[in-house]
C-alpha cells in the first residue's frame, strides 16, 4: 500500500484520527506500507504506523536519505530505532526534481495494491495528485482524504 500526501500537514489529533480511520483497517501484520520519506504526511504517517501497527514500513527516497530534509530523516531514524522500519530504498536519482519524485511515486504504486492520498486542495498539480492519478490510470483502488492547508495542514473535519 502506498501512502502519499501533502508536505504542509502538521500532526494534530484530527490527523491522528484520520490515520486511525483510513490506515488502521489495512494495517495487518502482512501489509507493506510504502512511504516517500518526505516531510508532512510521509513522516507523520510513518511515525503513526510505527507506533500503532505491526505492518512492514518501507521508506522510498528518490535519491538518497541524505538528500531528504532533516525532519524527514529524523522520522526515519526514529522508526528505525524503534525497530519498526523494514527497509529504506534509495532509488539513486542523479538529480532531485519533479521527474525524480514522480519516478519514486510510480515505483511505490507499482508495488502496491492500494493508494491512500492526503492531498491539499483539488488542483491536480501536486505530487500527491500525480500519484493518485497514476494509480487511477492503472485501475488501482485509491482513497482520497482531503487536507485543508489553509488551516495549517489539518484535515477538514
Per-residue pLDDT band at 122 (split at 50, 70, 90): confident
Quick one: pLDDT at residue 88?
96
- CA gyration radius, the chain: 14
Least confident interval from 63-67, 94-98, 138-142, 150-154: 150-154
Long-range contacts of 48-52 (CB under 8 A, 24+ apart): 48/11, 48/16, 48/19, 48/23, 49/19, 49/23, 49/84, 50/78, 50/79, 50/82, 50/84, 50/85, 51/82, 52/19, 52/20, 52/24, 52/27
> pLDDT tens across 20-71, in order?
999 999 999 999 999 998 999 999 999 999 999 999 999 999 999 999 999 9
Amino acid at each position: 500500500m502506498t501512502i502519499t500526501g501533502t508536505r504542509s500537514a502538521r500532526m494534530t489529533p484530527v490527523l491522528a484520527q484520520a490515520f486511525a480511520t483510513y490506515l488502521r483497517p489495512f494495517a495487518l501484520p502482512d501489509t507493506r506500507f510504502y512511504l516517500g520519506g518526505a516531510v508532512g504526511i510521509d513522516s507523520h504517517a510513518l511515525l503513526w504506523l510505527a507506533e500503532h501497527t505491526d505492518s512492514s514500513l518501507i521508506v522510498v527516497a528518490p535519491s538518497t536519505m541524505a538528500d531528504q530534509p532533516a525532519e524527514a530523516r529524523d522520522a526515519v531514524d526514529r522508526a528505525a530505532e524503534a525497530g519498526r522500519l523494514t527497509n529504506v530504498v534509495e532509488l539513486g536519482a542523479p538529480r532531485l526534481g519533479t521527474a525524480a519524485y514522480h519516478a519514486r511515486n510510480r515505483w511505490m504504486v507499482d508495488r502496491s495494491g492500494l493508494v491512500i492520498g492526503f492531498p491539499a486542495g483539488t488542483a491536480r498539480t501536486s505530487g500527491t495528485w500525480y500519484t493518485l492519478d497514476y494509480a487511477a490510470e492503472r485501475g488501482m483502488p485509491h482513497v482520497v482524504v482531503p487536507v485543508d492547508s489553509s488551516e495549517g495542514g489539518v484535515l477538514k473535519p
